[in-house]
Amino acid sequence: MTSAASSLPAGAQAHTPQHQEPSTAKVVKSILAASSGNLVEWFDFYTYAFFSVYFAELFFTGVGQTGAYMQAAGVFFIGFLMRPVGGYLFGRMSDRYGRKHAMVVSIVMMGLGSLGLALLPTAATVGGLAPVLLILMRCIQGISVGGEYGSTATYMSEVALRGRRGFFSSFQYVTLIGGQLLASLLAVIMTHVLGTEQITAGWWRLPFVIGAVAALISLWLRAGLDETTSTQDRQRKGSGSFREVLNYPRAFWVVLGITCIGSLAFYVFTTYMQKYLINTAGLSKGLVAEIMTVCLLVFMVMQPFVGMVSDRIGRKNSMLIFVAGMVLLPVPLLAAIGQQQSPVVVGAMILLAMVFLSFYTSISGIVKAEMFPAHVRGLGVGFTYAIGNSLFGGSAEYVALFMKNQGYANVFPWYMVVIAVLGSIAILAMHDNRHHSTLDHPDSSAYGR
């Protein structure tokens, strides 16, 4: 695949000269179609995080509020442990059968998982079987979203225009955060309209029904996508093979390293922050939902602008800004947030962390896609990301709540700092994408053996 062909949909490759790129309108259409499915996937996935505060005690009884939250966070973590499975299965599918095929199957699985969650019986009905069924549905969603990330990241990176890939690829996290935002906004609306008691009594099921219906719409949109991989790459020896991924060891370890701190920071300041504000700062559930909705909206809007910055200064410099913030901020910032009662001040402090976090999230997909060649890009990005994401992103809430439950809440920010320091080593091992990108130089990767 040539550098020009790597950014074209398959249909365009057959008719467009290699020195030309598709029109901006065509790229925008492809990005919107792909990212709409991403929005639904992450809305479905994060609905659990935002509404678990209402149903946790219905599934985990006799352990108190903190214990129920911790158990629910544990199920959240188990779903994350399924991500490497999804990353591997869908990564192989993406490299061997195409990005479009993987994205379509992924959205179907997510819709089924959401429908299953909407229909789950609670402990009052089936006793100890309730949390088992809850885990099963989260595993299905975990496999789905584990495959979603790599497939979408590679697709959006390949279809984006050269020189503007940071900007276009940032829409993966625009829609990812948008999914969080919609889940949070729905929590705000339902809290004001129904109240906590009614939501706990059964209305917590509604968001999962909405997610299942939205998945059907997304399926229709994704069915119209063009394929970005060539038949030659899909049939190449080693395509979709993890053994072949390991032929690019530097790429593998760099992606793993930056994912560990990136995922940990992302889930601390987006999903765990909700529990932290309720359980540590003592703010009401409704007020917390409002604060997080505003913060996520601003965070979402930041992404394209920070993505454009990376196109100018390079991905490595953007990542260095991110990791510097994650080394310096967690200890003083989390301490200050935990003692603050003003929603305006709390929101401002969370947004400060999100500014630095944006230097990771806005380029999360493209920075990884530029390290692997096309025939293993889906697996290299998806599976490697899923490993780090499940270990450090999925465990963020559980580790934080466990430390709090054991009386060591102040240790958690230092845990973040340690992971950030280790992540900085991986970032220093990165090459400058402006000179070493497999999207532009597919046959001469600086990350190979």
The reported pLDDT for the residue numbered 262 is 94
The reported pLDDT for the residue numbered 98 is 87
Distance, CA of 337 to CA of 252 (rounded, Å): 36
The reported pLDDT for the residue numbered 8 is 41
Q: Which of 7-11, 58-62, 289-293, 342-346 has the lowest mean pLDDT?
A: 7-11
Name the burial class of residue 170, with classes exposed (0-12), middle (13-18) and buried (19+) by CB atoms within 10 angstroms of its CB.
buried
Tens of pLDDT along 282-311?
Answer: 888 778 888 888 998 999 999 999 999 999
The reported pLDDT for the residue numbered 18 is 40
Does residue 369 lie within any of the structural domains?
A: yes
Name residues whose C-beta falls within 8 Å of residue 285's C-beta, 6 or more positions apart in sequence.
53, 191, 196, 278
Q: Which of 26-40, 208-222, 256-270 has the lowest mean pLDDT?
A: 26-40
Closest residue by Cα to residue 163 from 365, 308, 371 = 308
| pLDDT > 60? residue 239 | yes
Q: pTM score > 0.85 for this model?
A: no
Distance, CA of 429 to CA of 440 (rounded, Å): 20
Residue 348 carries which side chain, given as an amino acid letter? A
**What average pLDDT does the chain have?**
84
**H helices of 246-314, where?**
249-267, 273-279, 285-313
Q: What is the mean pLDDT of residues 411-427?
A: 94
Q: What is the mean pLDDT of residues 32-46?
A: 80
Please give the radius of gyration of the chain, using alpha carbons only, rounded to the nearest integer: 21
**In this structure, is the dihedral angle defined by the CA atoms of residues 228, 257, 397 and 362, taken in order, positive or negative?**
negative
Other C-beta atoms closer than 10 Å to the C-beta of 389 total: 26
Does residue 327 lie within any of the structural domains?
A: yes
Other C-beta atoms closer than 10 Å to the C-beta of 171 total: 25
| pLDDT > 90? residue 156 | no
Does residue 437 lie within any of the structural domains?
A: no
| pLDDT > 70? residue 281 | yes
The reported pLDDT for the residue numbered 81 is 83
The reported pLDDT for the residue numbered 118 is 93
Other C-beta atoms closer than 10 Å to the C-beta of 378 total: 33
Two structure tokens written together for 417: 């700092």
Tens of pLDDT along 359-400?
Answer: 999 999 889 988 888 888 889 888 898 889 888 987 888 888
Distance, CA of 128 to CA of 433 (rounded, Å): 51
Q: Which residue has the tokens 């765990």?
A: 272
| DSSP letter, residue 329 | S
Pair 224, 32: CB distance under 8 Å? no
Q: What is the mean pLDDT of residues 222-249?
A: 82
Does residue 449 lie within any of the structural domains?
A: no
Does residue 111 lie within any of the structural domains?
A: yes
Name the pLDDT band for 172 (thresholds 50, 70, 90). Answer: confident
The reported pLDDT for the residue numbered 184 is 78
| pLDDT > 50? residue 74 | yes
Does residue 434 lie within any of the structural domains?
A: no
Name the burial class of residue 192, with classes exposed (0-12), middle (13-18) and buried (19+) by CB atoms within 10 angstroms of its CB.
exposed
DSSP element (H, E) containing 58: helix 24-59
Other C-beta atoms closer than 10 Å to the C-beta of 351 total: 16
Domain span at 124: 5-428
Tens of pLDDT along 47-57?
Answer: 887 788 888 88
| pLDDT > 80? residue 440 | no
Burial profile 219-238: b = 16 or more Cβ within 10 angstroms, e = fewer: bebbeebbbbbbeebbebee
Comparison of pLDDT for 445 and 159, the residue scoring more: 159
Distance, CA of 102 to CA of 91 (rounded, Å): 8
**By percentage, how much of the chain surpasses pLDDT 90?**
29
Name the pLDDT band for 115 (thresholds 50, 70, 90). Answer: very high
The reported pLDDT for the residue numbered 446 is 62
Q: What is the mean pLDDT of residues 327-350?
A: 91
Q: How many domains does the chain have?
A: 1
Q: Which residue has the tokens 């219905």?
A: 58
Other C-beta atoms closer than 10 Å to the C-beta of 339 total: 10
Comparison of pLDDT for 169 and 77, the residue scoring more: 169
The reported pLDDT for the residue numbered 12 is 39
* CATH number, domain with residue 140: 1.20.1250.20
Q: What is the mean pLDDT of residues 202-223?
A: 88
Does residue 438 lie within any of the structural domains?
A: no
E-strand ranges in 31-169 read none
Q: Tell me phi and psi for residue 159, to 5 degrees.
A: -85, -15
Q: What angle do CA 126, 111, 139 make, to 5 degrees?
A: 55
The reported pLDDT for the residue numbered 21 is 64
Comparison of pLDDT for 270 and 419, the residue scoring more: 419
**By percentage, how much of the chain surpasses pLDDT 70?**
93
Please report how many Cα atoms fall inside a 13 Å half-sphere around the Cα of residue 298, on the Cβ side.
Answer: 16
Does residue 97 lie within any of the structural domains?
A: yes
Pair 409, 279: CB distance under 8 Å? no
